[in-house]
Structure 1
Amino acid sequence: MSKYGTLVMGPAGAGKSTFCTALIQHLQNSKRPCFYVNLDPAAEEFAFEPDLDIKDLISLEDVMEEMSLGPNGGLIYCFEFLMENLDFLTDPLEDVTEDYLIVFDMPGQIELYTHVPVLPNLVKVLMQGSLNIRMCAAYLLEATFVIDRPKFFSGTLSAMSAMMMLEMPHINILSKMDLVKGQVARRDLQRFVDVDADLIDDDPSRKPSDEEDSKNYRDPATKESLMSGSAFHKLNKAVAELIDGFSMVSFLKLDVQDEDSLGAILSYIDDATQYHEAQEPREPKEFDADMEEQ
């Protein structure tokens, strides 16, 4: 018997916990059970109380105080400690049935997804062995990044790095779409959804042009010089072409206030985990009985 889960990831401020809250509410409205796992040892407030919380095992605040570590080092220590005490995570998940969607709310430090092997090792434990969870990673990137094209491609590169590092079914999501309504034309937005490398060359905010840049001297140590000009453009162009060469990243659009948007994201998660293929037809009374047991 398989279990089903989604790993909600992305940089800090991308809206991961908000998405988890909206997804859980959507599942409840659909009378579908879920199991909420918080794996962010620094999280403090929850709209829905987690069924399993890493802070009951270890918290980032305690690690930073007792081990004299910074936030990033402390977070990696927390996950290494979790890997040494996997029974804390795996034992409760053993009892979760195939009807549930297990939602893993992850921290925002992208080092976990791109630099160190601890998260890939954790994913292997969850997807293999007795748990046998069919997992789909959901990587969130804030939609406001499309306003700043170099920032957008930087975020897209981190999403691609996570895809290659984790080696699991993966969807990428532009979150907070409500914040860019009216700022980006629908036609232009589609180029971000499908990640068009030519967006770098077509950036209207790029100035001065390469020709002007070569004629006008500017102090290379200033922030304006570092974040603009021909050298900065060539770097961003190289990043965009690297992403385009792999052809791995495209985005889904998310507005957590829109039930249709949430339903569409959930359908992609279910397709990636093959949830519906393993389900048998059930009577409505059976769903009601499951919800009463929660």
Structure 2
Amino acid sequence: MVFGQVVVGYAGSGKTTYVHAAASYLRALGRDVCVVNVDPAAEENSRKQQEETGEAHARTFDVDVRHLIRADDAAREHKLGPNGALIYAADYLCANSDWLVEKLRPFVARNCYFLFDCPGQLELFQSRDSLRGALEAVTKALSVRWCCLHLTDSHLCADGFKYVSALLCTLSAMLFFDAPHVCAISKCDLVDASMRREMDMPFRFYRGGARGDLTRLADAMEYRHKGLRGTHLAQLTRNLLELADDYGLVSFASLAVEDTRKLARVVALCDRSVGYVPASDAEGGGGGVSAASLVAGEDSDDDDDDDDDLFDDD
């Protein structure tokens, strides 16, 4: 039995950055890792990232779907737009899932830990069966036990409506995938004082997700945005939050790839969700911190909030 993570989330939520940071972290702990790209349009994303970050080289993958099919080739050959090309490429990968299975088989023999970097177009998962079908073929053929790690960009917390949308998207992914789920708010290191002041609720609330009463967000939105109170939009927002609350499934870990403890905690949560038992505490938690304490939240960052001052008048 081998283990892994399928990393999904909106475009720009930090999936590729996380995958490579997690791979480096796990390799430093002595775990053999295989990084898999299943985004046929990843080249454009890598080029943009190089321009934004000044990196000299694009990040590389151990297995890359672009060796089978590329979105730009599909667009050119079949005269498709960007979205149509992605859909075609995903369908092609599903129809040729045996190619992916054979590419992964040598890494299974090495007992590697798999990290799948997925496209940011969530409709490829939630309205079509192509990518899910390819992953299910891998699971069946190679006995891979994987969890779905869903990343949500922290800037969405600055707008209550965007957070509600992200919450429902996360819940939809959890219901769509037949696999354990771990949810995380990414780029938490970018949440500064000005962003906190824009939030309708303290940042701790958004990280807590369904652990609290989600309808409190509707109350706060109506309080801070007086024109919203009594409108159909306000009632719709409240009903959607009640829906998410009724399922009681979604809560978020905090993630910043530059923070080793946050990164280690997310990895430990993923390990626990699939039943992986680290060979040692150092392997599971990093820096001599036990995986159990990280999962339990003993080393969480709840004490770094200045939430008591969030709604104070200037």
TM-score if structure 1 supplies the norm length?
A: 0.82
CA contact (8 A) 1:120 1:165 kept: no
CA separation of 1:210 and 1:261: change in aligned 2, threshold 3 A: closer
**In structure 2, C-alpha distance between the alignment counterparts of 1:43 and 1:124, rounded to whole Å:** 22
**In structure 2, C-alpha distance between the alignment counterparts of 1:232 and 1:53, rounded to whole Å:** 44
CA contact (8 A) 2:3 2:276 kept: yes
**Residue 156 (structure 1) shift:** 1.0
> Is 2:189 the counterpart of 1:194?
no
Which aligned segments of 4 or more residues in structure 1 are displaced greater than 6 angstroms? none
**Residue 205 (structure 1) shift:** 4.1
Alignment-derived partner of residue 33 in structure 1: 32
**In structure 1, C-alpha distance between the alignment counterparts of 2:82 and 2:226, rounded to whole Å:** 37
Alignment-derived partner of residue 244 in structure 1: 245
Deviations 1:58-104 (A, max 9, x none): 11111112222222222121111011111221012222246421110
CA contact (8 A) 1:32 1:99 kept: no
Alignment-derived partner of residue 135 in structure 1: 146
**In structure 2, C-alpha distance between the alignment counterparts of 1:256 and 1:52, rounded to whole Å:** 22
**Residue 119 (structure 1) shift:** 2.9
**In structure 2, C-alpha distance between the alignment counterparts of 1:93 and 1:209, rounded to whole Å:** 52
Q: Which runs of 5+ in 1 are unaligned?
A: 212-229, 282-294
CA separation of 1:95 and 1:209: change in aligned 2, threshold 3 A: closer
> Match of 2:42, SS?
coil
**Residue 248 (structure 1) shift:** 1.2
**In structure 1, C-alpha distance between the alignment counterparts of 2:127 and 2:215, rounded to whole Å:** 25
Alignment-derived partner of residue 223 in structure 1: none
Mapping 1:60-71, distance limit 5 Å: 60-71=71-82
Q: Which amino acid aligns with 1:264?
A: R
Deviations 1:251-270 (A, max 9, x none): 11001110111110110111
> Match of 1:116, SS?
coil
CA contact (8 A) 1:7 1:135 kept: yes
Alignment-derived partner of residue 148 in structure 1: 159
| Larger Rg computed on CA atoms | 1
**In structure 1, C-alpha distance between the alignment counterparts of 2:87 and 2:264, rounded to whole Å:** 33
Superposition RMSD in Å: 2.2
**Residue 14 (structure 1) shift:** 0.6
Q: Report how many residues are paired.
A: 260
Alignment-derived partner of residue 129 in structure 2: 117
CA contact (8 A) 1:254 1:262 kept: yes
**In structure 1, C-alpha distance between the alignment counterparts of 2:224 and 2:86, rounded to whole Å:** 37
**In structure 2, C-alpha distance between the alignment counterparts of 1:96 and 1:78, rounded to whole Å:** 24
**In structure 2, C-alpha distance between the alignment counterparts of 1:43 and 1:79, rounded to whole Å:** 13
138-147 or 177-186, which deviates more: 177-186
**In structure 1, C-alpha distance between the alignment counterparts of 2:225 and 2:113, rounded to whole Å:** 44
The structure richer in helix per residue is 2
Q: Which runs of 5+ in 2 are unaligned?
A: 47-56, 282-314
**Residue 143 (structure 1) shift:** 0.8
> Match of 2:30, SS?
coil
